[in-house]
Structure 1
Amino acid sequence: MTSLHWLFLLLGCAAAGATFALGRRSSTRLQRAPLPTEWALMARPALNADERRTLRLLREALPQHIVLAKLPLVRLCQPRDPQKVRYWFDFLRPYHVSFAVCSANGRVLAVVDLEPERGPSRRGTRIKQAVLEACRIRYLSCRAENLPPVGDLQLLLRQQGTASRPAPINSPPGFHQARSTLSDTVRTRRAERSARWADSGYPQDSFFAPDSRLDGAPSSEFAPLAAADDAATATANSRR
Structure 2
Amino acid sequence: MIDTHAHIYAKEFDEDRDAVVQRALEQGISKILLPNIDLESIEPMLKTEAAYPEVCHSMMGLHPCYVNADVKETLAIIHSWFEKHNFIAVGEIGIDLYWDKTFKAEQEMAFITQLNWAKEMKLPVVIHTRDSIEETLSLLKQEQDGSLSGVFHCFGGSVDEAKAINDLGFHLGLGGVSTFKNGGMDKIIPHLDMDYLILETDCPYLAPVPHRGKRNEPAYTQLVAQRVADLREISLADVDAITTANAMKLFGV
With normalisation by structure 1, the TM-score equals 0.23
With normalisation by structure 2, the TM-score equals 0.22
Structure with more relative contact order (C-alpha pairs < 8 Å, separation 6 or more) = 2
Higher helix share: 1
Question: Based on CA coordinates, which of the two structures has the bigger radius of gyration?
Answer: 1
